[in-house]
C-alpha cells in the first residue's frame, strides 16, 4: 500500500508538502538522524537457552486524515491500535507520522520503544515497540524513490533485540517504494537491492527477523522480493505456513490495489522474513494475516492495511548452549 494514500493524486507534491506542514501533528523533530535514542527501562536478562516471542508488522496509516484512505478517524483509531498492539512482544509499525503520541500513550507494556522522528516530511514513519531490550536503532534512507515517496526519508531501520543474556537477533523494519508503475517498481527493486546489501554487510552470521510494508510481491514480474531469500537466506513466514514453500507465479499483470480484501491464502505486501544463525535456531510456529483483530466496533479496519503476525520459537544450538550466542558487536 502506498505510504501516501489513494486521494493523494489530487495534490501536487508542493501542495501536499504545504498541507502536511500546516496540519496539526503530535510529534515533530528536526530531521532523521542515523542513530536513534531509545525510550526504555533497565531490565535484568535471564541466562536462557530457548524461548518464544510474538511479532507483528503493521502499517498504521498515520498521515493526516484529509489525505489518508483509511475509513476510520485517525487519532482514535491509532489510539485503539496502540492498545491492541500490547498483546504482541515485538512490534514494527510503518507510517507512524502525525498521531505518534496516540500510539505510544496508551501502551504500558512495551518497555523499549524507538523515539519518533516526527511527522511528514521529517520522519520516516518507522518505529519499534518491544518487551525485550533494544540496542540503538540505525535508520537508513533509500537511495532511490519516486513521486511522493521522496517527500520523507523513507527507508528501513536496523535494530538489535536482546531475547536473553547474550542472545541477540537483528530486526529490520522496512517500508519500500510504493505503486506498480514501471518507474516505481524500478525504484523498489533498487530498495530491495540496497536492503539486501546492508543485511549482508551488517548481519553476516546473525539471526534475522525482517518485517514491514515491502510494497512488492513475488507474484508481480517487476518486483525482486525473492532477492531477500536468495541472497540473504531469509525464509518468508507466509510462504512457509500458507504456501508450503512454493513461490507464487510472477505475472506482468498489475496487482489488485485493495489489500483489505485479501485472505491468508493471498499474497500481501506486508511481509515477515526470518533466518537462523550458526548459534541460534529460529523458526516460526505460526503465521497470521490479521484481517479481523484490528477492526473497530463497526467492523471497519483501523488502518488501510491489515497487519501480519508470527509466533517465533528460538533455541541455542547444542554446541553453543554454554557459549555467548551472539557477538555484541558495535553498530
What CATH number does residue 135 fall under?
3.60.10.10
Lowest mean pLDDT among 126-130, 156-160, 207-211, 326-330: 326-330
pLDDT at 331 over 80: no
pLDDT at 147 over 60: yes
Average pLDDT, the chain: 86
Quick check: is 1 in a domain?
no
If you average pLDDT over residues 160-177, what whole number do you get? 97
Give me the pLDDT at residue 240, please.
96
User: Residue 73's Cα: distance from chain center in Å?
Assistant: 22
Give me the pLDDT at residue 327, please.
44
| 65 exposure class (CB count in 10 Å sphere: 0-12, 13-18, 19+) | middle
Quick check: is 46 in a domain?
yes
Q: What is the pLDDT of residues 240-258, one digit of tens each?
A: 999 989 999 999 999 988 8
Quick check: is 328 in a domain?
no
Give me the pLDDT at residue 41, please.
61
Quick check: is 218 in a domain?
yes
User: Residue 15's Cα: distance from chain center in Å?
Assistant: 28
Q: What is the pLDDT of residues 25-62, one digit of tens each?
A: 333 333 334 456 566 665 678 899 999 999 999 999 99
Q: Are strands 138-141 and 155-164 parallel, antiparallel or unpaired?
A: antiparallel
If you average pLDDT over residues 311-317, what whole number do you get? 97
Distance CA 67, CA 190 (A): 27
Give me the pLDDT at residue 1, please.
47
All 3 cell numbers of residue 247?
A: 513461490
Give me the pLDDT at residue 37, please.
59
Give me the pLDDT at residue 330, please.
40
pLDDT at 301 over 60: yes
Length of the chain: 331
Structure letter (DSSP) for residue 196: H
Handedness of CA 5, 6, 9, 11 (dihedral sign): negative
pLDDT at 217 over 60: yes
- Are 237 and 311 within 8 A, CB to CB? no
For 277, half-sphere exposure in the C-beta direction (CA atoms, 13 angstrom radius) is 22
pLDDT at 11 over 90: no
All 3 cell numbers of residue 265?
A: 491464502
pLDDT at 9 over 50: no
pTM of the model: 0.88
Q: Number of folded domains in the chain?
A: 1
Give me the pLDDT at residue 131, please.
97
Element (H, E) at 143: none
Range of the domain at 125: 35-320
For 309, half-sphere exposure in the C-beta direction (CA atoms, 13 angstrom radius) is 20
If you average pLDDT over residues 166-185, what whole number do you get? 97
Distance CA 175, CA 171 (A): 14
Quick check: is 6 in a domain?
no
pLDDT at 64 over 90: no
Quick check: is 13 in a domain?
no
Quick check: is 14 in a domain?
no
Quick check: is 200 in a domain?
yes
Give me the pLDDT at residue 178, please.
96
Q: What is the pLDDT of residues 73-106, one digit of tens each?
A: 889 999 999 999 999 999 999 999 999 999 999 8
Amino acid at each position: 500500500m502506498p505510504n501516501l494514500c489513494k486521494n493523494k493524486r489530487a495534490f501536487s507534491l508542493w501542495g501536499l508538502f504545504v498541507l502536511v506542514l500546516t496540519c496539526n501533528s503530535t510529534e515533530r523533530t528536526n530531521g532523521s538522524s542515523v542513530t536513534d535514542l531509545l525510550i526504555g527501562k533497565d531490565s535484568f536478562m535471564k541466562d536462557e537457552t530457548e524461548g518464544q516471542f510474538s511479532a507483528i508488522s503493521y502499517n498504521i496509516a498515520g498521515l493526516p486524515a484529509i489525505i489518508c484512505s483509511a475509513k476510520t478517524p485517525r487519532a482514535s483509531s491509532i489510539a485503539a491500535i496502540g492498545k491492541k498492539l500490547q498483546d504482541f512482544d515485538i512490534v514494527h509499525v510503518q507510517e507512524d507520522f502525525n498521531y505518534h503520541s496516540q500510539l505510544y500513550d496508551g501502551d504500558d507494556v512495551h518497555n523499549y520503544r524507538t523515539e519518533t522522528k516526527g511527522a511528514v516530511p521529517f520522519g520516516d514513519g518507522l518505529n519499534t515497540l518491544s518487551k525485550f531490550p533494544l540496542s540503538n536503532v540505525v535508520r537508513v534512507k533509500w537511495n532511490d524513490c519516486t513521486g511522493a515517496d521522496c517527500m520523507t526519508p523513507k527507508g528501513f531501520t536496523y535494530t538489535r533485540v536482546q531475547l536473553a543474556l547474550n542472545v541477540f537477533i537483528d530486526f529490520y523494519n522496512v517500508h519500500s517504494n510504493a505503486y506498480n508503475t514501471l518507474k516505481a517498481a524500478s525504484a523498489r527493486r533498487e530498495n530491495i537491492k540496497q536492503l539486501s546489501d546492508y543485511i549482508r554487510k551488517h548481519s553476516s552470521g546473525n539471526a534475522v527477523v525482517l518485517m514491514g510494508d515491502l510494497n512488492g510481491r513475488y507474484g508481480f514480474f517487476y518486483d525482486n522480493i525473492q532477492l531477500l531469500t536468495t541472497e540473504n537466506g531469509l525464509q518468508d513466514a507466509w510462504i512457509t505456513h500458507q504456501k508450503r514453500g512454493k513461490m507464487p507465479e510472477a505475472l506482468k499483470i498489475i496487482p489488485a490495489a485493495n489489500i483489505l480484501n485479501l485472505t491468508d491464502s493471498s499474497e500481501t505486501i506486508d511481509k515477515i522474513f526470518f533466518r537462523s544463525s550458526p548459534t541460534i535456531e529460529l523458526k516460526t510456529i505460526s503465521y497470521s494475516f490479521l484481517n479481523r483483530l484490528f477492526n473497530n466496533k463497526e467492523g471497519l479496519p483501523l488502518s488501510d492495511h491489515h497487519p501480519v503476525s508470527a509466533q517465533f520459537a528460538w533455541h541455542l544450538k547444542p554446541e553453543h548452549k554454554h557459549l555467548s550466542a551472539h557477538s555484541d558487536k558495535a553498530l
